[in-house]
Amino acid sequence: MTVHPHQFEVHPSSGVPIYVQIIDQVQAMVAGGILKQGDMLPSVRQMATELGVNPMTISKAYSRLEAANVVERVRGKGMQVTKLPVGGSHEERLDELAPLMGQAIVRGRQLGLSDEQILSLVRQLLKEYSS
């Protein structure tokens, strides 16, 4: 199976560099099981023309993914997903989440919510997202 460039969503005018957006989405697709071991990424050319971005940007994203062992270059075929996601250690994963939670807490305080109210919202949302 392969993914199609249409499954990627690129926002050129977001502050996040386009290559980072693509890396994040490939990693999310791997983590989410949309991309499995052995699947191919679209070619650089396909991605560049379909998404309307510079081919070098796509190459850069692919090279970084290769360096991170998410994909490997297969001669004559392109980029292939290497292995199942490595989620990082428990601590690393928490570190990644912390800034996002931090932002939510700041906003909560701005809205004048108490810690208990924020916590109960988190609990409620956890339930809603459990399905």
Partner 1 sequence: MNSAIIETHALKKQFDRKSVLSGIDLSIEAGQVVGLLGTNGSGKTTFIKCLLGLLHPTSGTSAVFGETSWDLSASAKSRLGYVSQEFAMLPWMSVRSMTDYTGAFYENWDKSYVDLLIKEWNLDEKSRVGTLSVGQRQKLAVILALGHHPELLILDEPVASLDPIARRQFLKSLIEFTEEEENTILFSTHITSDLERVASHVVFLEEGTVGFNEELDELKDRVKRVRISGVQNLREKLNIPGTIRAEYHETHALLTVKEFQAPQWDSLAAEINAVITVEDLNLEEIFLELSEVSSASPQQVIA
Kindly list the residues in this chain that would bind partner 1 in the complex (CB under 8 A). Answer: 12-20, 45, 48-49, 52-57, 60, 99, 102-103, 105-106, 109
Nearer to partner 1, 41 or 81 (CB): 41
> Residue 64 Cβ, how far from partner 1 at the closest point, in Å?
11
* Partners of 80 in beta bridges: 40, 72
19, 61 in Cβ contact below 8 A? yes
**CB of residue 59 to partner 1, shortest distance in Å:** 9
- How far apart (Å, rounded) are the C-alpha atoms in residues 47 and 63? 14
Shortest CB 95 distance to partner 1, Å: 11
Question: Which alpha helices (DSSP H) does 8-89 contain, by range?
Answer: 18-31, 44-51, 55-67
